[in-house]
Chain A
Amino acid sequence: MTLTVIIASLAVFSWKMLGYLIPQKWITDGIRAFSERVTVVLLTALVAVQTLVTGNQVEFDARVPALGVAAILFALRVPYIVVVIAAAATAAGLRLLGF
Chain B
Amino acid sequence: MKRVLSTSISVGLATGLYGISFGALAAVAGLDLLSIMLLSILMFSGASQFAFIGVLAGGGSPISAITSSWLLGVRNGFYAMRLNSVLSPRGLMKVIAAQLSIDESNGVSAAQSDLKSQRYGFWATGIAVFVFWNLATLLGALAGDFLGSAETWGLDAAAAAAFLGLVWPKLKDNKILALAAAMVAVVGSFFLPAGVPVLLTVLVALVPRRSK
Give chain A's interface residues, CB within 8 Å of chain B: 1-2, 4-20, 22, 24, 27, 31-53, 55-58, 62-63, 66-67, 70-71, 74, 79-81, 83-93, 95
Contact = CB atoms under 8 A, between A and B. Distances in A.
Interface size class, chain B: 35 or more
Contacts of B209: 33, 37
Interface in B151-180: 151-168, 170-171, 174, 177-178, 180
A22 B84 contact: yes
Contact of B110 (A13, A36, A90): A36
B43 A8 contact: yes
Contacts of B83: 19-20
Contacts of A88: 17, 153-155, 157-158, 161
Interface string B180-192: 1111111001110
B110 A32 contact: no
A19 B186 CA distance: 27
A86 B17 CA distance: 12
B7 interface: yes
B177 A37 contact: yes
B80 to A, nearest CB: 2
Given A5-B52, A27-B84, A39-B78, 12 more contacts: A8-B65, A8-B69, A15-B73, A20-B101, A32-B82, A34-B206, A42-B78, A42-B198, A42-B202, A66-B161, A80-B11, A80-B14
Contacts of A92: 152-154
B85 interface: yes
Contacts of B97: 20
B163 A8 contact: no
B142 to A, nearest CB: 18
Contacts of B206: 34
A43 B77 contact: no
Contacts of B156: 50, 63, 91
